[in-house]
Amino acid sequence: MTTRKLKIINVVGARPNFMKIAPILRAIHQHNSSPLAKEVCIESLLVHTGQHYDYEMSKVFFKDLDLPEPEIYLEIGSGTHGEQTGKVIIEFEKVLFKEKPDLVIVVGDVNSTMACTLAAAKLEIPVAHVEAGLRSFDRSMPEEINRIVTDALSTFLFTPSADGDENLIKEGIAKNKIFRVGNVMVDSLLTHKEKAIESKILQTLGLQKNRPYVLLTLHRPSNVDDQESFSKIVEALTVISKKLPVIFPVHPRTKKQIDSFGLQNIFQSMDSSSGIGNTGIYCTTPMGYLDFMKLEMSSTLVMTDSGGVQEETTALGVPCLTLRNTTERPVTVSEGTNTMVWNNTEKIIEEAFRIMNGGARKGTIPELWDGKTAERIVNILMEAYLNET
């Protein structure tokens, strides 16, 4: 029997993509190590566009997630949305001409996701979008535009929850293209949870075992580029941090805005010699995947404007306050541990104190968030390939 080959290019562009592609690459490897590989072997290439961070800054995530070195690195770098999108299309099209893949897998909603989808679709190469169907219904968010365009052009749409299916059907996507497979981010979380438990980040920060604290992430332009919005959030953080210390791994964009708005005196730089005090907002450098997960699972409360963190806290059962007025992950609110508070100072304080006083609501784990999402994705792709050939 002749072994057939399915050639797949997997795309990552920025750090949120790494946690989503790692389980897929692992599932592909498992397929190629199984008896099924005698019938169809998957040739897999990893393309890193370098959209937000250079490869050196990405290395900690590659190490934490056991990701292989990318075969192709495009070195796109920062720029406006148009610049990034255009550069990725130009460079990725060259990769497609050279490699001639049977399929492109894109994940999430960053500019690289949309740009690589556009390049593939123009060349009539099928695209599989992992994390399809998510909608905030806020088109002022660049990610929303990326999601809509990517879904419209994809052949396989892999959704994490029922609302994703419903959104796609309302947009006229054929039902036979939609596959609810669960949340691939949870695959990474469950795979690496035991390793994260062993992280020494609490000791590094001077946090004794079982000591309560709040974990904060904040990076969206609508929050940190708008001084009025940022000030409302900072006002709430100042009150909350008088009861519990707030640990804040600072995104480079946010650090720049803190300096620009003259808010340096409110945020304390982390001094490893003195550790975290009983009160205050403590800034640290950005963290790797395992250290951050350890901080998440050990925290009293997480405050964030990140979509991925909303999912992770729901999967971990940790209370989460989302500093946005919309979410593309409503299942984390309806079923999980997430509460929307936007930049409403009073609501942020009220909800944070409710949680700190033991009033956090108990969430449940959404259906199919079981760590087997990537396996389901690869099985669906293999079945489709076998039916076509």
Tokens 């087997």, residue located: 372
Catalytic residue at 219?
A: yes
Return the SS3 of 380: helix
Report the C-alpha gap between 247 and 226 in whole angstroms: 22
What is the longest distance spanned by two Cα atoms in the chain? 70
215 - beta bridge partners? 247, 302
Compute the distance between CA of residue 50 and CA of residue 91 in angstroms, rounded to an integer: 11
364, 352, 280, 296: which is closest to 323 by C-alpha?
352
Is residue 212 within 8 A of residue 240, CB to CB? The reply is: no
Q: Tokens 């994490």 correspond to what residue?
A: 160
Contacts of 66 (CB under 8 A, 6+ apart): 22, 26
C-alpha separations of 65 from 25, 75, 291 in Å: 11, 21, 12
Strand-pair partners of 40 = 4
Q: Which tokens is 286 given?
A: 């950005």
> By the 8 A CB rule, do 337 and 301 touch?
no
Write the CB contacts of 137 (distance below 8 Å, at least 6 apart in sequence).
Answer: 144, 326
Structure-token pair, residue 258: 């803190």
Establish how many alpha carbons lie within 13 A of residue 127's alpha carbon, considering only the half-sphere containing its beta carbon. Answer: 26
State the sign of the Cα–Cα–Cα–Cα dihedral 359, 338, 275, 233: negative
User: How is 38-61 classified by DSSP, letter by letter?
Assistant: GTEEEEEEEEE--SSS-HHHHHHH
Q: Which of 29, 48, 219, 251 is catalytic?
A: 219
Pair 27, 375: CB distance under 8 Å: yes
**Which residues are CB-contacts of 272 (< 8 A; sequence separation ≥ 6)?**
204, 205, 206
What lies within 8 Å, CB to CB, of 56 at 6+ separation is none
276 with 282: CB under 8 angstroms? yes
The residues carrying an active-site annotation are 219
